[in-house]
Structures are given as C-alpha cells and as structure tokens.
Structure 1
Amino acid sequence: MSDQDAPPNPAEQYPRPPLPEQNQPHPGSGERMRPEPDHGETSYQGSGRLTGRVALITGADSGIGRAVALAFAREGADVAFCHLPEEQGDADTTVGLVEQAGRRALSVAGDLRDEEFCASLPGRCITGLGGLDILVNNAAYQMSQPDGLTAISTGQFDRVIRTNLYGMFWLTRAALPHLRPGASVINTASVQAYKPSPHLLDYAMTKAAIVAFTQGLALQLAPEGIRVNAVAPGPVWTPLIPATMDEEKVAHFGEQSPLGRAAQPAEMAPAYVFLASTGASYITGEILNATGGTPLP
C-alpha cells in the first residue's frame, strides 16, 4: 500500500490540544467554534443502509446530533429532530444538510424539559414524514462546576436531570406505541457514565442512568423485535464544550484520551448508523464505546 492510499493516522487526523481558548453563552454554536467541528459534510458517504427509514433525533441542530442526522440522510433516511428555540439558526443548517442529501427534514423547536413537548414529538414526526423507525435520544445539558458538589445548585441539578433523563424517558414512552418490529432506539451515554470527572458530577450521574435505562429497556422490548442500544462517546468537540467549560479546560479538551485529542462529531456518526441498520439485527442492550482508546466495561 502506498502512502497515498494509507488510512489517516487517527491520532493526527484532527487538531490536537492545545486548542484556542474560547467560550460562548449556552447553548453555543458550532459556527463560532475554532476550529469548527467536522460533522462529515465533506467526508461521509452513504451506502443505502437506512433507505426508506424515518428517524427522530433530539438535539440535532449541532454536534453529534447534526452529524448523525447528516449520516442518516446520506444513508437514505428522512430525519425529524428537535432543538431549543434559540438554536434555530444551527437547526436550519442541519435541515439544509439533510435536504442536500435528497431526504426530507423536519425541525421542531422546543424544550425537552417540557413533558407535553416530548409527548408531541413522535406524532409530529409521523404526521410530517410518514412514520417512525429510529429514535435517537441524544440531547443533553451539562455545566462544569470545578468547586465540586456544593457548587451545584438545585436549579442546575434540576436542569441536568430533566433534560438528560426526564426528556429521554418522556419521549421514548411516547414513541413506543408507534415503533414496529425492526425499529431501533439509540441513546447517547458517555465515558462519564463509567469514569466520572469530578467537575461534571451531576452530568455523569445521568449518563450512568442512561446505561441502565438502555439495558433494561432492551430486555423489555426484545420480545417485540425492537432493539435498544447506546453509544458512549469520549470527549467530542461540540458547542457544549465552550458553552459549559472554562477557557483553560477548553484549550486542553481531549488531551486525556489515549489518542491525545477530542473526537469530531463525524467520528461518532458511523456508530449510530451501524446500530440503526439491519447489520446490527442481533445487537440489543449494547453500549458501543467510542472513547478514543479509554477502556470501559
């Protein structure tokens, strides 16, 4: 194999720390990040693995969710997704990427902390796109608190729990009556579920709960032919990072990974495609680790 044909070195494929110091108000925007995240805009090539499917993704305006929406569309799926109202500009970009892939897109603004909003999403997806085959619970909230447990206010704790757990619970419960045999539920867990960072204690708690929810729901739904899995990313370069961490942490984000850098959202999307596809038909209750080499159970 010539050097020209060799695959890229994964340790050098994307920028390594130190990164430019930066911060943004929450929820942040990928377009204002330096370097801008890669969602697979120029690299992801589909092969028809999700042709004719309809997916509903939470938090697909940017980050991992946008990369998954783009990959699903290029694999042949129509995509509905939700986002916060203040993320409309980023959501419009995701809609454009899906439509450029020749698929239909539906974006819905709202807050996953609202039970009625969560309950309405499956119906909106079915009305707008004609079905629901894949549910991706991806949206999350975190806020770094370097001063520890006593610095976590009840307000912050409530927001983290309601966004990361209540939203997932309400939406999945509302989606179940519409899911047929062959459908797939994919949750976004995290390396934090197994190796919690002290400054992300409340966030890590929710990710551990997502692992338990995934494995328990997989057992419940296996007799119905509905698979439930999760992806556990390591550090990923998304707007959540400069919007929830101080500038020094941002500059060194990802250096703890054995590969020495944070992942790009585009590097997460293939895991979701695989778990949604018929190629994973005998896989359920699995946590697919995508941590850059950090070993997890």
Structure 2
Amino acid sequence: MTGDPFVAHRSLLFTAAYEMLGSAADAEDVVQETWLRWADLDAQARSEVRDPRAYLVRIVTRQALNRLRTLARRREEYVGEWLPEPLLTSPDVAEDVELAESVSFAMLTVLETLGHTERAVFVLREVFDTPYDEIATAVGKTPMAVRQIAHRAREHVAARRPRKQVSRAEQEAVVARFLSAVRGGDLQQLLDVLAPDVVVIADGGGFVPASRRPVEGARRVAPLLGKLATMDVTFEAIPMWLNGGPAVRLDLDGELTAVASLVITDGRISRLYAVANPQKLARLDQETRLSR
C-alpha cells in the first residue's frame, strides 16, 4: 500500500471529476492535471497540507469547473443527443446504492441540467459528503452561499431523479427477458418487457446513424429493436454492467457497435440510453474503479 495521498485517493478523484463532467477522457485529464500540481509541491509544502484528501478534491473541483466551460461550448455544437461516456463497472458497484445512483446515466443526464457551480456543489455535498466550508473554498463562494446553492441543486435533482430502487435480482431478470426478446426479434415479448411510455435516447455523435431526438413509446421502440434480429449481419446482444447499473452490449459481426444503459421501473424497461459514438466506447475493454 502506497503512502502517497494522490495514489490512495486517485479513484475518488476520478469519480468526482467524472460526475462533474460526464466524460471519462476529460476526467482523466483533470486527474492528471491534479497530479501535476501535487507533484510540484516539495516535501515541505506537502507536510503543511493538513488534509491531503480535501486539498486534492479542491484542485480537482477547480480544474473540472474550468473544463466544464470548454465542454459547454463543445456540447452546443454536438450532433444529436449528447450522453455521458459509459464506464464498464463491476456488479459490486451496484451494491453501493448511493455511488451507483450518482454515476448512473439517469443521474448524469439530470446533472447536465444544472449550472456548473451547482453541479460541483451537488456532487461534493451529496455524493462525497464534503463539508460546506471545504466546498466554499473549492468553488470560490462563501459557506452560506454554498448552502443555498446545495439546497437549490438538491431540489432540482430530486424533482427529476428516478425514485425507486430495484434489486439486482429484478434487474437481471428483466434484462434476461429483454435479451430474449431482442435476440428472437419477438415484437410481443418486446412490448411486454418495455414500459408503455419507454423512452430511447441515442448518441451517435454524428459519426454513426442515430435518432437525433428521443424515441418515445413502446409501440415505436419495439419495432426498432425487433429489426436487429433481421439484419444481414451476425449480431450479439450481451448483458453487462455500465455505470453501476444493468446494460446491454451490441456487437455486429464481432465488433462492438453500441451499448445501452437500462432503467428499470416496475419490472419493465422505462428508459434506454444508447451510446454508439465510437469515441465514447474506447474505455469499455476494462473495468473502471470508482469510489467515494
């Protein structure tokens, strides 16, 4: 076990940056920038850091806020729907309910609707239980202002986040039904496993064909999914865990083509977040360590 605080907290720093940015590549850049600033401190300066974790989180937050301004401009020019970069996670991540929820596609898309400072404050307070005075130092606000920001952000997220927890056993059962229906191209089975008001949000980034608007309703979604079994290619639909939740990987002719994060409500799939942008699929060959 290393005694270097940066190494000890690296997965936490990445998790915080990722939740603030929704991009693993940008989160890695922020963590690297944080390391460079930590490495620049000499032994005397490091010895004067009373709480290395808080110090490193503060640097990550400031770097993430700077990066968010750049990302905001980039996302304004994004082709079609924008979704977070998916992370391959172990099923164990789902056991930490708060962590799994905080990195879920459902939560990250809600966080996209917050202002930059609101998002950072929410992540630090609600996910990492960071004291208000530490958050204030990180975001350049007073503790009182941070409390007000946190309250507004909490109410905003609470009004939009999924409210029901689903057991791992139920998730796996629904995914199995879904995969059976997709593999067989069975329209009725698809209608049975999809919620009537299911929504599919697809992110192709302009690189591959994808609907540029959400597709709503089982009667529209089921036929689209049913067509996969009739394609003139070899296709596989494989269960996996993304961002702490159930998901499906789609391979065409042996090549990873897309992944879909699934939201399950009352025994049916109520939302699919499908990512086909090849630039966002690069990290799916190995699990990402997350912590809080």
Question: What interval of TM-score do these two structures reach, taking the shorter chain for normalisation?
Answer: under 0.3
Give the alignment's TM-score, normalised by structure 1: 0.22
Give the alignment's TM-score, normalised by structure 2: 0.22
Q: Which has the larger radius of gyration?
A: 2
More helix by share: 2
